[in-house]
Structure 1
Amino acid sequence: MHTRAFRMNLDPGQEQEYLRRHNEISPELVALLHNAGIEEYRIFLDPERHALFAVMIHQERHGLDDLPAHPVMQRWWQHMKDIMPSNADGSPRSVDLQPMFSLPRP
């Protein structure tokens, strides 16, 4: 398994809308993400900075690189781009986070 972490931003005042949209995520998108090899995906909000921190755990062999071209992913990005900074292709602007510490196992 591999872990990726990244940061995105949310437009001020859009916290509840972001939460609502994710609570209503389509089963089609959930299946797409699982089929791409994602085992776990969590997003946390820093409300003072409107920053979203995501942690994704995925299989070593995955299809993450194919997701941007998939119509389901494209629909999701178009659905979200009005409440967060986005790139020209609709994907959310994100910055990869570098691992700095991991608690050793006993």
Structure 2
Amino acid sequence: MIRKAFKLKVNEGQFEEYKLRHDNVFPELVQELKSAGAKNYSIFLDDETGCLFGYVELDSVEKWNDVSKSEACQKWWKYMDDIMDTNPDMSPKSTELREMFYLA
């Protein structure tokens, strides 16, 4: 199993909207993520900075990366573009975090 952590940024004043949208995430995106082997996927918010911390467990990094090419993911990115810090292709700006400690 691969553990992956990353950070993103939600725009100030959009925290509740971000939560609302994720409470109603597109079922087709959920299916894409599960088909890619994603498990225990969580996103946490630092209210002071608007920084989001994501954590997911994967079977394959390649399968995880392939999700971004799916129609469901592209649709989600477009939907989220107005409330997040994004790249020109509407993907969220994301910084991978390096693991420094793990307690099993």
TM range (shorter): over 0.9
What residue in structure 1 maps to residue 56 of structure 2?
56
Unmatched 5+ residue regions in structure 2?
Answer: none
Q: Is the 8 A contact 2:86 2:92 kept in 1?
A: yes
Cα distance in 2 for partners of 1:60, 1:22 equals: 24
SS of equivalent residue, structure 1 residue 48: coil
1:64 is displaced (CA, Å) by 1.4
Partner of 2:21 in structure 1? 21
* AA partner of residue 39 (structure 2): E
| TM superposition shift of 1:44 | 0.3
User: Structure 1 segments of 4 or more deviating over 3 A?
Assistant: none
Q: What is the alpha-carbon distance in structure 1 between the residues aligned to residue 90 and residue 84 of structure 2?
A: 10
CA distance in 2, matches of 1:68, 1:62: 11
Q: Which runs of 5+ in 1 are unaligned?
A: none
C-alpha distance in 2, partners of 1:60/1:71? Answer: 20
Give the superposition deviation at 1:62: 5.2
- What are the equivalent positions in structure 2 for 1:32-43 lying under 5 Å apart? 32-43=32-43
Q: Distance in 2 between matches of 1:73 and 1:29?
A: 6
SS at match of 1:100: coil
1:60, CA displacement in angstroms?
3.7
Using the alignment, how far apart are the partners of 2:23 and 2:83 within structure 1?
15
* Superposed CA RMSD: 1.3
C-alpha distance in structure 1 between counterparts of 2:33 and 2:40, whole Å: 10
Q: How many residues align?
A: 104
Using a 3 Å threshold, how does the CA distance of structure 1 residues 76 and 97 change in structure 2: closer, same or farther? same
AA paired with 2:5?
A
Match of 2:5 in 1: 5
Structure 1 position 67, deviation (Å): 1.6
